[in-house]
Amino acid sequence: MRLLALAATVAAAVLSAACGAGEQDGASPGQAGAPLETRPANGAGQQPAFPGQTRAPGVRTETALAHRIVASGLEHPWGLALLPDGGWLVTERPGRLRIITAGGAIGEPVAGLPAVDARGQGGLLDVAAGPTFGADRLIYWSYSEPREGGNATSVARARLSDDGTRVENVQIIFRALPVYNGDKHFGSSLAFDDAGHLFVTLGERSDRPMRPQAQDLGSHMGKVVRINADGSVPRDNPFVGRAGALPEIWSLGHRNVQGVAIAPDGAVWTMEHGTRGGDELNRLEAGKNYGWPVIAYGVEYSGGPINEGVTAREGMEQPVYYWDPVIAPGGMTFYDGAMFPGWRGNLLVAGLKEKHIARLVLEGGRVVGEERLLTGLGERIRDVAVAPDGAVWAITDEQNGKLVRLAAS
């Protein structure tokens, strides 16, 4: 485990500030109002279920934007969460949690976290400060937990020590079932609603034998679950009391959900990875079925149809928006800052494959505009958050991962 030098970090930040100054990160190519995406879709012949479900018109932020690298040298950072003092909790997938100050000082790994199974897409995943952090200093994180016979996604909570060097009284409050010996599609993103319920997003583990479990209410695979902060099950969850159903389940029929955000009106929105095509933005409703693997946009990685090749079926929900080709979405957040008043209520989505932040303009529950931000960085954007001053912060999923600030220049 290496030591990260503050002097090197500050030097990198200064150089990056110079490189990023004055960049038109907000520029949208092409004619105003034309869709940003011009490449052919993988799902040839597939039609959206309603106008505007894909390839939204391009929009542009007229304010000049610039990014600054605040910290670097992180190993595949995954989750990003703001602390009340302006510092950031940042996870690294191999199993380390660090605190990075707003000035770029990178702390030593926080001690006391349980072991992770850091294979493939597994490891230490998302992190969140609890809704009562100011009173109890509780933080929450998700991770691929090594278990007998394989692994699965788990969620733990603990008290962050006063000096931020360790976690105390670790409790595992949720364990996804069944256990599976694989290294893909663990999910997993965390979000608290205003009532203190914790939403946890999960993948269906990718491999063909596991896919059908996304439709099985006796499995957590391919689900979004809703629990209380202590891990107990809210009594108003949609499947409480149903024979054969796991009571934590909020929604089903998901592939690999790695982004979740609570809208200003309390609605739960998620981002889901597709195959070759079919990344989805969904507005979740309790008990609803979002279709995977029965319906999906796009095609298999091999090029053939996904199951029957259908994109709609009665009783299954359509995504609010989808991408084909994919952007490979990571974390997401609603913008509510003062720096860019015109962005308020917009969704900011981290894009891994296409290496940008997608700004989605929402009206009436639909996407009516899309912009690509932070394109000048050229790195896989894993998670995104908004600071109190309205600046946008992001982490990059790279061997030399970075914490980046995007702001008006």
d(CA 56, CA 78): 28
User: What does the DSSP assignment read for 95-134?
Assistant: TEEEEE-TT-PBPPPPBTPPP---STT-SEEEEEE-TTHH
For 280, the token pair is 């989805």
d(CA 316, CA 200): 21
Q: Tell me which residue of 299, 294, 314 sits closest to 45, measured CA to CA.
A: 299
Per-residue model confidence as pLDDT tens for the chain (409 residues): 333 333 333 334 333 433 454 444 443 333 447 999 999 999 999 999 999 999 999 999 999 999 999 999 999 999 999 999 999 999 999 999 999 999 999 999 999 999 999 999 999 999 999 999 999 999 999 999 999 999 999 999 999 999 999 999 999 999 999 999 999 999 999 999 999 999 999 999 999 999 999 999 999 999 999 999 999 999 999 999 999 999 999 999 999 999 999 999 999 999 999 999 999 999 999 999 999 999 999 999 999 999 999 999 999 999 999 999 999 999 999 999 999 999 999 999 999 999 999 999 999 999 999 999 999 999 999 999 999 999 999 999 999 999 999 999 9
Which is the catalytic residue, given 185, 197, 254, 356? Answer: 185
Instruction: Give residue 13's pLDDT.
Output: 38
| DSSP label at residue 166 | B
d(CA 408, CA 311): 40
Q: What backbone torsions phi and psi does residue 321 show, to the nearest 5 degrees?
A: -155, 150
> What does each C-alpha distance from 284 to 166, 193, 245, 262, 322 come to in angstroms?
35, 13, 18, 10, 15
Helix/strand/coil percent split, the chain, to 5: 5, 40, 55
Q: Is the pTM of the predicted complex or chain greater than 0.75?
A: yes
185 is catalytic: yes
**C-alpha 96: how far from chain center:** 18
For 84, the token pair is 């009340």
Burial classification of residue 338, based on how many CB atoms lie within 10 Å of its CB (0-12 exposed, 13-18 middle, 19 or more buried): exposed
d(CA 48, CA 170): 46
Length of the chain: 409
What is the residue whose two structure tokens read 């992190």?
Answer: 127
Q: Do 382 and 390 form a contact (C-beta atoms < 8 A)?
A: no
Instruction: Give residue 19's pLDDT.
Output: 44
Which CB contacts under 8 angstroms, 24+ apart, belong to 51-54?
A: 52/321, 52/366, 52/367, 52/368, 53/318, 53/319, 53/320, 53/321, 53/322, 54/297, 54/321, 54/322, 54/323, 54/324
Q: Tell me which residue of 212, 254, 222, 280 sits closest to 48, measured CA to CA.
A: 280
**Domain formed by 6-408, architecture:** 6 Propeller (2.120)
Close Cβ partners of 110 (under 8 Å, ≥ 6 residues apart):
96, 97, 98, 99, 160, 164, 165, 166, 167
User: What does the DSSP assignment read for 53-81?
Assistant: SSSPBB----S-EEEEEEEEEESSEEEEE
Instruction: Give residue 22's pLDDT.
Output: 42
Q: Do 405 and 385 form a contact (C-beta atoms < 8 A)?
A: no
d(CA 390, CA 400): 26
Side chain identity at 196, as an amino acid letter?
A: G
For 369, the token pair is 């505009």
Burial 83-117 (b: 16+ CB within 10 A, else e): beeebbbbbbbebbbbbbbbebebbebbebbbebb
H-helix or E-strand containing 136? helix 133-136
What residue spans define the domains of the chain? 6-408
Q: Tell me which residue of 344, 332, 326 sits closest to 383, measured CA to CA.
A: 332
CA count, 13 A, side-chain hemisphere, 167: 24
Instruction: Give residue 33's pLDDT.
Output: 79
Instruction: Give residue 9's pLDDT.
Output: 39
Q: What backbone torsions phi and psi does residue 20 show, to the nearest 5 degrees?
A: -90, -10
